[in-house]
């Protein structure tokens, strides 16, 4: 039986950082499901229709280095409201979750829609200001010219679209553990997540 860890939360809350560390600690595979939506968003920017792009998505598309830009993030959140786009991506995510050694999936709807029976569900959050500052540092580190106000507006716009959409909105599962990382270092957040998983796994 696979052991599934579902990690959901808003943009730049630290889901990816925590997921990678949890996966490495327990020897689980990790899927950043945001990359699926980003890959579809990138194809839409290139002129493809969202549903066609989602149905034709290939794992190789996830290796595109240009998926981390703010423009692609916005396009991702726009295609993510389309039910047929979401449906086209379900089978790939569930197959990944069924991996024998265990899997960590992070995104928006893992604990609510993709893996409602996950063994551990974490809802990772932090204040919008805190998340914008973190994302700004990442973008500046990659040489992107932007400002704190631009990044904060982008984060808030995506949060609102993700929370208010009808299909699989961003909302904590009833049985999710909330982890607010606003006042935690990345290492502290990772340690808290590993402790929760270890408590369930024994």
126 vs 17: CA distance, rounded Å = 14
In the chain, where do the E strands start and end? 4-8, 29-32, 103-107, 120-125, 177-180
Which parts of 43-72 interact with ligand CDP (CB under 6 A)? none
Residue 47, marked binder: no
Cβ closest to ligand CDP, residue 30 vs residue 108: 108
Q: Examine residue 179 and tell whether it contacts ligand CDP (CB under 6 A).
A: no
Size of the residue set binding ligand CDP (CB under 6 A): 28
Tell the smallest beta-carbon distance from residue 143 to ligand CDP (Å): 15
Count the Cβ atoms, other than its own, within 10 Å of residue 55.
14
- Contact status: 30 vs ligand CDP (CB under 6 A): no
CB-based burial of residue 47 (10 Å sphere; 0-12 exposed, 13-18 middle, 19+ buried)?
Answer: exposed
Task: Check binding of 125 to ligand CDP (CB under 6 A).
Answer: no
Please tell me whether residue 16 binds ligand CDP under the rule CB under 6 A: yes
Token pair, residue 43, equals 């194809």
Nearest to ligand CDP of 121, 158 (CB atom): 158
Quote the least distance from Cβ 202 to ligand CDP, whole Å: 26
**What is the layout of strands, in order, in the sheet containing 120-125?**
29-32, 103-107, 4-8, 120-125, 177-180
Please report whether residue 153 would count as binding ligand CDP according to CB under 6 A. no
DSSP labels, 12-48: TSSHHHHHHHHHHHHT-EEEETHHHHHHHHHHHHTT-
**Piece in contact with ligand CDP (CB under 6 A), picked from 14-22, 49-57, 95-103, 171-179:** 14-22
The answer to whether 79 touches 50, Cβ cutoff 8 Å, is: yes
For residue 32, list its beta bridge partners. Answer: 106
Q: Which is nearer to ligand CDP, 101 or 163 (CB)?
A: 163
34 is in an annotated binding site: no
Q: Return the closest-CA partner of residue 182 out of 132, 138, 141, 140.
A: 132
Of residues 30, 43, 108, 121, which one binds ligand CDP by CB under 6 A? 108
Q: What residue numbers does the annotated binding site for ATP cover? A: 9-17
Could you tell me which residues are annotated as the binding site? 9-17
List of residues contacting ligand CDP (CB under 6 A): 9, 11-17, 33-34, 37-38, 73, 76-77, 80, 107-109, 134, 138, 158, 162, 181, 184-186, 189
């Amino acid at each position: 039986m696979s052991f599934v860890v579902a990690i959901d939360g808003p943009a730049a809350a630290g889901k990816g950082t925590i997921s990678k560390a949890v996966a490495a600690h327990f020897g689980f595979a990790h899927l950043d499901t945001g990359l699926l939506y980003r890959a579809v968003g990138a194809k839409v920017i290139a002129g493809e229709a969202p549903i066609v792009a989602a149905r034709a998505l290939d794992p190789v598309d996830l290796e595109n280095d240009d998926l981390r830009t703010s423009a692609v993030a916005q396009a991702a959140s726009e295609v993510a409201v389309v039910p047929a786009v979401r449906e086209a991506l379900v089978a790939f995510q569930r197959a990944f979750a069924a991996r024998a050694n265990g899997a960590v999936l992070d995104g928006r709807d893992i604990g609510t829609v993709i893996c409602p029976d996950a063994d551990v569900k974490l809802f990772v959050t932090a204040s919008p200001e805190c998340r914008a500052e973190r994302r700004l540092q990442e973008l500046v580190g990659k040489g992107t010219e932007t400002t704190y106000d631009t990044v904060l507006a982008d984060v808030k716009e995506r949060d609102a679209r993700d929370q208010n959409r009808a299909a699989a909105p961003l909302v904590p599962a009833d049985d999710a553990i909330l982890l607010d990382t606003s006042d935690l270092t990345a290492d502290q957040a990772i340690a808290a997540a590993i402790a929760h998983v270890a408590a369930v796994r024994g």
